[in-house]
Structure 1
Amino acid sequence: MLIRNCTITVAFVFILAGCSAQTVWVKPGAGTEEFNQAKYACLQQGQQPYSIAVANRYGGSASGGMTTNPALYSACMEAGGWALIDNAQATSPEYAAAIKQINDDNRALCRKPEYYPYYAWAPCAARDATAGQLSDRSHITAAEKTIFEKLTTELNDLNARVIAAHRQYNAKSGEALARNIEQARATADILRQEYLAGRITRGDYNRRRRDIVIGLDAEAIRILQGT
């Protein structure tokens, strides 16, 4: 969980693959850069003109400008998948550092040349699957199996580190977050075996991978909000 600029991000890596505020914005899997982009866009959308006029027996004055409508800003953030949660979830700097390193390692993994054959048809982030990737009717090749299995091993290691960080540093919600990932991993393992066996297409794999991550994120938000 990355704590910075009053936002928390929860890292979920899949082969599917100090702030004084009382509340913070959270989006599973998002990083600080994505939060900053969302914040800027929603501030722009939430802008409204205002005008103030004052008059008394000595005369009058008027002024105007632009201000942010909090309701519009919140609606924009929520539409982008962000949720406002209790800042009590934001815990130690060690927690933040651990999750940041995992996020960085995952991004580096997506850029490894040896895994280009996989990421040529499967997005690094499951939610980013394109229409073409979701409709791909091709199946796994013999040459791809070795690459796929090696990448799976590396991503499983990252997942294990995320689970350990939640349990070590988040006394309030860490266990629930860890179990959420473990359950999703079990479903992802079934999906991986089906793809390796050639029973489903790349498009089927990408679609179900995306659905698993969407469900994982939704449950994480529920856990963090305490609902």
Structure 2
Amino acid sequence: MNIVLGGSGTMSSVDLVKVINEVRAEEGKAPLEHADFVKKIKAHPSIDAGKFSGIYVDSANRDQVCYHLPRRECDLMVMSDSRPVQAKVYDRIAALEAGRADPFAMLPPEQRALVQLMCDNVQIKARQAEIEAKQNEQQESIKRIEAKQSAFENGHSFFTAMGFCGLRDIKLSMRDMQRLGRRAGAISRKRGVPIDRVRDARYGMVNSYHEETLAQALNEIHGGM
């Protein structure tokens, strides 16, 4: 069996010869040799053969020259052939183009059904993952709201590192406030305490932490100051 190597969206000269010979056999004519067809391609004045050249491995496992022709060049090469040849080439090209539009078009019905089922499963799983992600996001939002409500009821709230220092009239350098925020974040993640995001006029969106978490972080890095 010949193995054709070349571009997609084209029909190989090997396949063209096969189609032509199928019709010739029906008409009782001698088969066309691929080597002779290749010579015609090279000699055609309206085909730049070099743009479409490729190779195929013949039945003797030898590399041979072939051409991968787009629709226009295929039509040119069979223009002088009989109408049955032209019709069959046209139908074959149409089938190839349909196969590119639907890569499973040439599969048997049972295989198409299996591939379709696999594709549907992938889409379902992707949708499920999207729903789960949204649900997790909603759950985290609910947790933050509940934590804020609990903090409000207990007289506490959430603050940025800078806001916390301002509330307690603590003077820290920017570097130390960054350390405070990092430590508060580590404590929050370890204990499962939510970390909120608030908009700051100077720095954009910044993290805010529970007041008690910030107090503990401050105590750990500065001994309570």
Same fold (TM over 0.5): no
TM-score between both structures, scaled by the size of structure 1:
0.23
Pick the structure with greater CA Rg: 2
TM-score between both structures, scaled by the size of structure 2:
0.24
If asked which structure has higher relative contact order (CA below 8 Å, sep 6+), I would say: 1
